[in-house]
Structure 1
Amino acid sequence: MLRVLLTNDDGIEALGIRKLAEALLALSDVEIFVVAPAEERSGVGHGLTYRSALSPKPHSFYGLPVTAWTIDGNPADCIKGAYHLLFEEGKKPDIVFSGINVGTNLGRDIYYSGTCSGAREAVILGIPGVALSYDNWTDQDNYGQVEEIIRPLLQLFCDQAREDRLAPEVFWNVNIPHLPPEEIRGIVPAALAMNHYEDKYNQEAEGYWLTREYPDRSNPTPEEDYYLVKRGYIAVTPVHIDATDRTLLDKMLEWPIVKQSGNEKK
């Protein structure tokens, strides 16, 4: 039996995590656990709680056959707390799914996203992690037929987790168009679109609100996740958690103030 752990950043009462659980329950040989924030924690990035105590609490979950808790923290807290506090040694989760998020997490969103942090924290702990987001920001109560759309992808990730074939130190960022199944053009590998929007601050009576503008680009890079989702594809991006630029490590050896390591006397 594959032990599957779910989290999100929209909170345990969000419709997206219920849709994710329902899609997974249609698969065979899976045991599902849910550990999600007690309240919405969108946009918290990879924040951890360490100045106050965490208090996991059992929680009912729509009458579905899953075991669920809430944690009064962020998505990364939910995964770290679940791993250390709620699962016995030898019975840790086999895979973590985070989502389904209201709205996409594309390009540099992965650094701000609580959804992505749940999957990233799983990978830090040595567990495969998958973040799922749905392009329904302007229609947030409508998840369409997302369970049907993502079920083959969920099956693929679960099968690869069983066979220990998912790459270590990588979480998978999945973005799904808000379309009926027959209009989805396919599942494709995608690169992060790092410049698909611009941050703007709009002044209101109470202060400045952060907003976004999406400039038209006449020649977008065809493999970027934003443009693939807008063209009707499910975009899947492998995101490595080691952000070291190793090419620059070598070039730094040319800096006159840098001493090369490895030559010290023992």
Structure 2
Amino acid sequence: MLRILVTNDDGIEALGIKRLVEALLVLDQAEIFVVAPDEEKSGVGHGVTYRTPLATEKRDFYGLPVKAWAVNGNPADCVKAAYHLLFAAEEKPDIVFSGINVGTNLGRDIYYSGTCSGAREAVILGVPGVALSYDNWYDQENYGDVVQMIAPLVKDFAERAGKGELAPEVFWNINIPHVPLAQVKGIVPATLSLHHYEDKYSEAAEGYFLMREYPQVMPIAEPYDYDLVKHDYIAVTPVHIDATDRSLLKQMDGWPLMQPWEKQGEQPDE
């Protein structure tokens, strides 16, 4: 039996998480657990709750045959709490799916995204994690053909997880274009597009709101996730949770200051 944990950052009552569970329910021999925030937690990054207690509430989940709980915390809280409180030591989840997010999580969005944090927290705990986002920010009630689009992906990832074939310390960030299934050009590997928008602040009576300005979509020159999604590809990015720049680390061996004190002859002035 494959144990699948599902979370999100739009809240347990969001339509996107329902669509994700619908795509997972067709899998053979899968037991699905939903543990998600009791309210929207978009943009919370990888925040976890320390100073207030977490409370869980068992929920009916759209009448679907899954076990579900709402948590008064962030997506990372949901995954962490589920891992430690819901599953026995010998029955940990085989994979965590987080989403389907309203709107994309592309490029540096992965650092702000609660959806991505759900998948990242799974990997921190030693469980494969997959984040899914859909480019419907301006059409939020319309999930179109997304179930059919992600069905082969979630099946493939779930089967690979069951066989232990997914790389450790990597979560998978999937972004899906908001087009009919027939217009999808393919499922392709993608790199993060770190500079595809600019932050701007818009003044209002009560203060300032953070806004984003996006560039005109150009022909694809590099396999960036933003460009691929805007050209109707499903973009899949493996994101390693070890952010150490190892090539730079090696260069730092030659920095005079970066030496053990005994090699420098004396300690620096305090």
Q: Does TM, normalized by the shorter one, top 0.5?
A: yes
Question: Counterparts of 1:100-119 in structure 2 under 5 Å?
Answer: 100-119=100-119
Q: Within 2, Cα distance between the matches of 1:34 and 1:114?
A: 16
Q: Within 2, Cα distance between the matches of 1:186 and 1:58?
A: 38
Instruction: Specify the alignment match of 1:178 in structure 2.
Output: 178
1:134 to partner: Cα distance: 0.2
1:260 to partner: Cα distance: 4.9
Instruction: Specify the alignment match of 1:242 in structure 2.
Output: 242
Gaps of 5+ in 1: none
Q: Within 2, Cα distance between the matches of 1:229 and 1:214?
A: 14
Instruction: Specify the alignment match of 1:127 in structure 2.
Output: 127
Residues 65 and 248 of structure 1: CA distance in aligned 2, closer, same or farther (over 3 Å): same
Instruction: Specify the alignment match of 2:49 in structure 1.
Output: 49
Q: Within 1, Cα distance between the matches of 2:162 and 2:116?
A: 22
**Secondary structure of residue in 1 paired with 2:234:** strand
Residues 117 and 50 of structure 1: CA distance in aligned 2, closer, same or farther (over 3 Å): same
- List per-residue Cα deviations over 1:74-124 (Å, max 9, x = no partner): 000000000011111111100000000000000000000000000000000
Instruction: Specify the alignment match of 1:153 in structure 2.
Output: 153
Please tell me whether residue 255 in structure 1 is matched to residue 245 in structure 2. no
1:217 to partner: Cα distance: 6.5
Instruction: Specify the alignment match of 2:96 in structure 1.
Output: 96
**Secondary structure of residue in 2 paired with 1:31:** strand
1:221 to partner: Cα distance: 3.8
**Contact 2:217–2:227 under 8 Å retained in 1:** no
Residues 218 and 66 of structure 1: CA distance in aligned 2, closer, same or farther (over 3 Å): closer
Q: Within 2, Cα distance between the matches of 1:219 and 1:39?
A: 39
**Secondary structure of residue in 2 paired with 1:236:** strand
Q: Within 2, Cα distance between the matches of 1:185 and 1:257?
A: 52
Q: TM-score, normalised by structure 1?
A: 0.96
Instruction: Specify the alignment match of 1:33 in structure 2.
Output: 33
Q: In structure 2, what residue type is equivalent to 1:191?
A: T
- Counting aligned pairs with the same residue, the percent is 67
1:220 to partner: Cα distance: 5.5
Q: Within 2, Cα distance between the matches of 1:215 and 1:41?
A: 27
Please tell me whether residue 86 in structure 1 is matched to residue 68 in structure 2. no
Q: Within 2, Cα distance between the matches of 1:91 and 1:261?
A: 48
Instruction: Specify the alignment match of 2:195 in structure 1.
Output: 195
Structure 1 range deviating more: 192-201 or 207-216: 207-216
Residues 249 and 53 of structure 1: CA distance in aligned 2, closer, same or farther (over 3 Å): same
**Contact 1:188–1:233 under 8 Å retained in 2:** yes
- List per-residue Cα deviations over 1:220-265 (Å, max 9, x = no partner): 64200000000000000000000000111111111111215999xx
How many residues are treated as equivalent by the alignment? 263
**Contact 1:253–1:260 under 8 Å retained in 2:** no
1:140 to partner: Cα distance: 0.1
Instruction: Specify the alignment match of 1:212 in structure 2.
Output: 212
Instruction: Specify the alignment match of 2:168 in structure 1.
Output: 168
Gaps of 5+ in 2: 264-270
- List per-residue Cα deviations over 1:135-174 (Å, max 9, x = no partner): 0000000000111111000110011011100000000000
Q: In structure 1, what residue type is equivalent to 2:236?
A: V
Q: In structure 1, what residue type is equivalent to 2:2?
A: L
Q: In structure 2, what residue type is equivalent to 1:108?
A: R
Q: In structure 2, what residue type is equivalent to 1:200?
A: K
**Secondary structure of residue in 1 paired with 2:32:** strand
RMSD: 1.5
Question: Counterparts of 1:9-24 in structure 2 under 5 Å?
Answer: 9-24=9-24
**Secondary structure of residue in 2 paired with 1:253:** helix
- List per-residue Cα deviations over 1:186-232 (Å, max 9, x = no partner): 00000000000000001011110000001236576420000000000
Q: TM-score, normalised by structure 2?
A: 0.95
Q: Within 2, Cα distance between the matches of 1:129 and 1:23?
A: 16
**Contact 1:199–1:211 under 8 Å retained in 2:** yes
**Secondary structure of residue in 2 paired with 1:173:** strand
1:27 to partner: Cα distance: 1.5
